[in-house]
Structure 1
Amino acid sequence: MAAFTPPRPLAADDDTAAFDCGRDALNHWFRRHAWRNQELGVSRTSVICEAETGGIVGYVSLSTAQVERAWLPKAQQRNRPDPLPAILLGQLAVDRRWQGQGIARSLMFYALTTAVRLSEQVGCFCVLTHPLDDDVRALYAAFGFEDLPFDPARSMAVRIADLVRSGFGATG
């Protein structure tokens, strides 16, 4: 069984060209935009690598975002600012060779724990994501993400308060 590194920031010399998750849009973004966005401070991409070879096994990208109050369920709109601050889980992918081995779950756990940790320093209502399809929606739903019922882009979100209640980011 292969050993993997813990998530770490994407580095300039990482071989993004060898990564193939089977989805052209995610491969293209990772190869063409992940490092440039990192340099510009637009998003932060973290990677898990194979310990022996250093090859990238999976990645997740986080940035700040906002959620329009009108996108929330009616019961959650009352007495909320507009827009609401959020962390965007923009990209998450696992190389084909390593799919089905829990890497996506590890990256998701890392992303959600990071979001909760950040929310302790900077106000944040939720983690927002834009799933590509129903299979991806199911992965997010398993982590408590819910559809934003009035968002025309069909985004999903999980509230930071719900993540904390579920044990994400718990210290000591």
Structure 2
Amino acid sequence: MARLSPPRQLIEEDNRQAFDCGRDSMNEWFRRHAWRNQQLGVSRSTVICDAQTGEIAGYVTLAMGHIEREYLPKASQRNRPENIPIFLLGQLAVDRRFQKTGVARSLLFYALKTSVRVAKEVGCVGVLTHPLDDEVRAFYRRFGFEDLPYDRRRSMMVRIKDLERNGFGED
């Protein structure tokens, strides 16, 4: 198996056209929008690459956002502002050639550790994502993400304090 690079930010020279995770919508978003969003400061995409060829093995995208209090479980709504600050894990995809090798797990861990680190400086309650299907939901559930019961988009979230409790705040 290929030796993989540590996670790093996407750069303009990265070959996004060769990336194929098996989902056309994710491939197209990465090819057409990842770099532009990064230039605009809308989101940051982090990649893991084959250390020898430079081919992108996978990517994860993080951005800041908020969720309305009403989408949280009832017990979490009390004494909270109307808009709850969150990190948005917008995209996470692995090229077909690198699937089932731990790349998705590595990218997710990078995103969660980054979120916990930044949350120590900037207030944030959790990391939110919008899984595409039940298989993806099951993946996130294994890492502590829970369904938001009142969100019609079927979002999932993991709380920063739960990540800290599980060691994501440690280096």
Query: Shorter-normalised TM-score: what interval?
Result: over 0.9
> Secondary structure of 2:65's match?
strand
Distance 1:125 1:65 in 2: 11
Distance 2:100 2:55 in 1: 17
Distance 1:47 1:134 in 2: 24
Distance 2:7 2:161 in 1: 24
- Show the counterpart of 1:34: 34
> Secondary structure of 1:60's match?
strand
Q: Which amino acid aligns with 2:11?
A: A
- Show the counterpart of 1:111: 111
Aligned residues: 171
- 5+ residue gaps in structure 2? none
Distance 1:169 1:93 in 2: 24
> Secondary structure of 1:66's match?
strand
Q: Which amino acid aligns with 2:22?
A: G
Is residue 74 of structure 1 aligned with residue 74 of structure 2? yes
* TM-score, normalization by structure 2: 0.99
Q: Deviations over 1:104-131 (max 9, x none)?
A: 0000000000000010110000000000
Name the Cα RMSD after superposition.
0.6
Distance 2:169 2:134 in 1: 27
> Secondary structure of 2:111's match?
helix
Identity of aligned residues (%): 65
Distance 1:2 1:14 in 2: 18
> Secondary structure of 1:33's match?
helix
- Show the counterpart of 2:102: 102
- Show the counterpart of 1:123: 123
Distance 2:169 2:30 in 1: 27
Is residue 134 of structure 1 aligned with residue 152 of structure 2? no
